[in-house]
Amino acid sequence: MKDVIKYELESHQQTIEQVIEQIQPQILQACEMAVTTILAGNKIMFCGNGGSAADSQHLAAEFTGRYKRERRGLPAIALTTDTSALTAIGNDYAYDRVFDRQVEALAQKGDLLIGISSTGNSANVISAFEMAKEKGCQTLGLSGKGGGKFAGKCDLNIVVPSDITARNQEMHILIGHIICQVVDDQCG
């Protein structure tokens, strides 16, 4: 058991070190995208599947509630939370459409869509990116495992340098929290 714990902690630490070395400039760019969006009076939308859906909900709540300090609520929404919309769209169209239909209905020019996927291959997130671009939104991907099909589908794709899903998910929430901190500092 101790070996497993040590291995997991060391694997996490190695991934953090790679993030620090390789993708700090992209994280800065993501922070700038979020700050620009909020300061312009627009909203941030989040989507993803499974653990990435949970991360979407978590991060949207950090904006609408608060992150570390008391401040006004900031406009953000997780497209993963409305079970009626998800099941109706999935049933009437296809699961690949559950996010793009919501983007079509809710997005306005200048909004930011953040799509999260450990592999960068989630078809429904890619479809949401395409709709967001049609609506004049910026698009930010948080991915891993080489970035997958997110490449070229979003304005910025932050690719965590790991092939391990758990490490990608851990870094996605860390990057999300960094964005929250910068937004708090700049927009609160």
Q: Give dist(CA 184, CA 73) in Å, integer.
A: 10
Q: What is the CATH number of the domain that holds 171?
A: 3.40.50.10490
Residue 188 has pLDDT above 80, yes or no: no
Q: Give dist(CA 45, CA 77) in Å, integer.
A: 5
Measured at the CA of 148, the angle between CA 143 and CA 152, to 5 degrees, comes to: 90
Q: What is the mean pLDDT of residues 159-186?
A: 97
**Mean pLDDT score of the chain, rounded to an integer?**
97
**pLDDT-derived band of residue 90, with 50, 70 and 90 as boundaries?**
very high
Q: How many other C-beta atoms are found inside a 10 Å radius of the C-beta of residue 175?
A: 24
Q: Give dist(CA 129, CA 126) in Å, integer.
A: 5
Q: What is the mean pLDDT of residues 156-161?
A: 97
Task: Spell 49-80 as b/e; 16+ CB within 10 A means b.
Answer: bebbbbbbbebbebbeebbeeeeeebebbbbb
Q: Give dist(CA 176, CA 27) in Å, integer.
A: 9
What's phi and psi for 52, nearest 5 deg? -70, -30
What is the per-residue DSSP string for 99-122? THHHHHHH--TT-EEEEE-SSS--
Q: Which structural domain, as residue segments, surrounds residue 138?
A: 2-187
pLDDT tens-digit readout, 32-76: 999 999 999 999 999 999 999 999 999 999 999 999 999 999 999
Q: Name the token pair of 174.
A: 């860390």
Amino acid 73: pLDDT: 96
Domain count, the chain: 1
**pLDDT-derived band of residue 185, with 50, 70 and 90 as boundaries?**
very high
Q: Are 141 and 115 in contact (CB under 8 A)?
A: yes
